[in-house]
């Protein structure tokens, strides 16, 4: 007995499929989707589609028959195919399924319909190949999340939120140099805030060592026993860590950075800002 003769789809199952959830990448655009979530969504639909196509291709008893709408099993399979294609947003495949419905209505012979079955399989494959996905390793997926520097920094410096988020996403996506440019913008803002607290103007053209020297000079002139002075000294120490992470003399990024360098700078900048908010 062929697959066509044995395959059955209860009405309740068909009704449930009509209300399929969106693809997780459409339901949550630009969010991270785990491999498990992808498998939960796609495995069932791919299996179902494969089952439908196999049933249509294995119609031995229909090869010498004229197909029409009296063949309820074929209609049922096509309905299920359309539902699954809708769930996967395969628009051209949906169009193909509907054309096959029309073929049934015209009572085409199996020799013609079987060609349309083969074409449907190819169309589904072609459409699935058009959807691309970018893999982010578990090691770097955390950089794609929000509040990477903490809620306190976002509240204190809301204008930095976008650059912080973009710096993390760039690291997650392997764009190290782009991440450093976002971190550079963060540091330019942070050092100016630090300078204002010390009543020192940090020109954008000055190098890291000059900035550190001016900051330390201003701190030495303060009351060394006060908590405020100690907090500002901690900020200066973290600024030195940023200088080491950048590994160049001037306060401008070099031409390219490795992912390891970007992560080191990311951590140094986060440490600097976390100490800065305590001092100001």
For residues 41 and 102, the answer to whether their CB atoms sit within 8 Å is no
Poorest-pLDDT segment among 17-21, 50-54, 56-60, 152-156: 17-21
What is d(CA 144, CA 275) in angstroms, rounded to the nearest whole number? 23
Whose tokens are 């066509």? That residue is: 4
DSSP-derived 3-state class of residue 87:
helix
Element (H, E) at 134: none
Report residue 3's pLDDT band, with 50, 70 and 90 as the boundaries. very low
DSSP-derived 3-state class of residue 255:
coil
pLDDT of residue 59: 67
Query: Residue 217's closest CA among 270, 226, 202?
Result: 202
DSSP 8-state class, residue 250: B
For residues 101 and 43, the answer to whether their CB atoms sit within 8 Å is no
For residues 110 and 64, the answer to whether their CB atoms sit within 8 Å is yes
Poorest-pLDDT segment among 104-108, 139-143, 175-179, 181-185: 104-108
DSSP 8-state class, residue 256: -
Residue 141 makes CB contacts below 8 A (sequence gap 6+) with: 32, 172
For residue 274 the two structure tokens come to 């976390």
More confident residue, 71 or 10: 71
| pTM to 2 decimal places | 0.73
pLDDT of residue 39: 74
pLDDT of residue 250: 67
**φ and ψ of 223, to 5 deg:** -70, 110
Q: What is the mean pLDDT of residues 75-103?
A: 89
Q: Cite the residue boundaries of each domain of the chain with CATH code 1.20.120.
A: 141-279
| Domain range 141-279, its CATH number among 3.40.190, 3.30.1360, 1.20.120, 1.10.150 | 1.20.120
Report residue 140's pLDDT band, with 50, 70 and 90 as the boundaries. very high
DSSP-derived 3-state class of residue 200:
coil
**φ and ψ of 31, to 5 deg:** -95, 160
Confidence check: pLDDT of 224 > 80: yes
């Amino acid at each position: 007995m062929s697959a066509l003769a044995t395959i059955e789809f209860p009405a309740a199952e068909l009704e449930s499929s009509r209300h399929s959830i969106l693809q997780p990448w459409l339901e949550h655009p630009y969010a991270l989707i785990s491999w498990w979530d992808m498998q939960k969504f796609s495995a069932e639909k791919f299996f179902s589609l494969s089952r439908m196509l196999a049933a249509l291709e294995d119609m031995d008893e229909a090869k010498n028959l004229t197909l029409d709408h009296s063949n309820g099993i074929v209609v049922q399979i096509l309905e299920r195919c359309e539902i699954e294609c809708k769930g996967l947003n395969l628009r051209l495949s949906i169009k193909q399924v509907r054309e096959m419905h029309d073929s049934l209505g015209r009572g085409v012979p199996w020799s013609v319909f079987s060609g349309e079955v083969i074409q449907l399989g190819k169309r589904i494959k072609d459409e699935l190949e058009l959807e691309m996905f970018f893999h982010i390793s578990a090691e770097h997926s955390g950089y794609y999340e929000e509040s990477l520097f903490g809620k306190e920094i976002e509240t204190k410096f809301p204008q930095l939120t976008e650059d912080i988020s973009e710096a993390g996403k760039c690291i997650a996506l392997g764009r190290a140099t782009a991440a450093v440019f976002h971190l550079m913008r963060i540091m330019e803002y942070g050092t100016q805030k630090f300078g204002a607290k010390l009543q020192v103007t940090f020109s954008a053209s000055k190098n890291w060592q000059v900035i550190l020297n001016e900051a330390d000079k201003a701190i030495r002139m303060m009351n060394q026993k006060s908590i405020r002075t100690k907090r500002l000294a901690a900020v200066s120490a973290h600024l030195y860590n940023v200088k080491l992470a950048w590994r160049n003399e001037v306060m401008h990024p070099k031409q390219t950075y490795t992912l390891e360098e970007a992560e080191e700078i990311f951590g140094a900048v986060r440490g600097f800002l976390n100490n800065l908010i305590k001092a100001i």
